[in-house]
Amino acid sequence: MSIRLGPEQENTGFDKALGEYFQTIPVLETRTILVDGKHEAVQPVSTDDSIVKIVSYVPFGSKYKLTLRGVGPGIADVVWDTSTARRDRSKCLEVAVRPVRYIPTGFSYVTLSGGRQTSRTIGSVDTMILDANRILQPQANVKIIKMSEQICDLSAGGAALSLDGKNNILALARHIGGWRIQNQIARKEFEVFFVPELEAKAGNSDTTQAATYESVKTCFYEDDVSPLDEGAVLAHEMCYAYGRSGHTNKSGQLMYKSSTKTFVPKTLADLLNPI
């Protein structure tokens, strides 16, 4: 048997990387999957209709079209081999039905001394959030929620601040801490600070588009992230705070470095939104 994605199933959490078929479905949503019909004319069954329900299984050319609905949170299997003695995992689709997880996020626009400030303005982040959620919601049912937007004015006393090198970025973070206290800005669960330019290593030339400190769930995000997709960069950085530490070596996945790929595998979905 083979299960594969059609064009309409891009970014829906389909994963065979761990040696078995896997699909994420948000609660009360549906997914349609194409199944090779040469060997699988038998009607599949769900091991738990309270979690995932089979809506339909119909011929589609030489294949079959399987439509599933997530009923309630949990993990269940859709199986073609119903033997209780030994279930063939190659004829089994594991389905994780996930409730929505909201990530309350604050967005700040940094102004430094000497006229250095982000070119982004309040309200400009809405499209970026929408694009990030188009990646995260179908695959892990995670949704970034904008809780606040504000100007982070560090121009007073910030003459020595630089965004070139990790130590200088950490110094910027300390100044932001002081700004937060002075202005009574409450922390949000995840925070993004837009800065004009960012380099993880001193002397680099536009090799870093964003940097996230996992322990405090804080991201620094520069103005120019081209040629990468802005929403993908935001989703990528958020995954550092809630899921994965470091990059993957699999080029098709969201956590691959220098990539606009948006696939979220099972392992990352489980970290972002555990059931």
Residue ranges of domains in the chain: 3-98, 101-272
Say which range, 12-16, 40-44, 83-87, 257-261, has the weakest mean pLDDT. Answer: 12-16
Calpha distance 22→43 (Å, rounded):
19
Q: Tens of pLDDT along 49-87?
A: 999 999 999 988 878 888 999 999 999 999 887 665 455
Who has greater pLDDT, 66 or 37? 66
Who has greater pLDDT, 125 or 14? 125
**Could you tell me which CATH number the domain at 3-98 has?**
2.60.40
User: Tell me, what's the pLDDT at 211?
Assistant: 83
User: Is 3.40.390.10 the CATH number for 101-272?
Assistant: yes
3-state SS assignment for residue 53: strand
Angle between helices 126-140 and 230-242 (to 10 degrees): 60
Mean pLDDT computed over 224-241: 88
Most distant pair of Cα atoms in the chain: their distance: 73
User: Tell me, what's the pLDDT at 11?
Assistant: 38
Mean pLDDT computed over 200-225: 76
Calpha distance 266→23 (Å, rounded):
8
Q: Categorize the per-residue pLDDT at 92 as very low, low, confident or very high, splitting at 50, 70 and 90.
A: confident
Mean pLDDT computed over 81-100: 75
Closest CA to 176 of 230, 129, 219, 136: 219
Mean pLDDT computed over 246-256: 81
Calpha distance 183→163 (Å, rounded):
23
- Rounded to a whole number of angstroms, the CA Rg of the chain reads 22
Who has greater pLDDT, 243 or 79? 79
Q: What is the chain's mean pLDDT, rounded?
A: 80
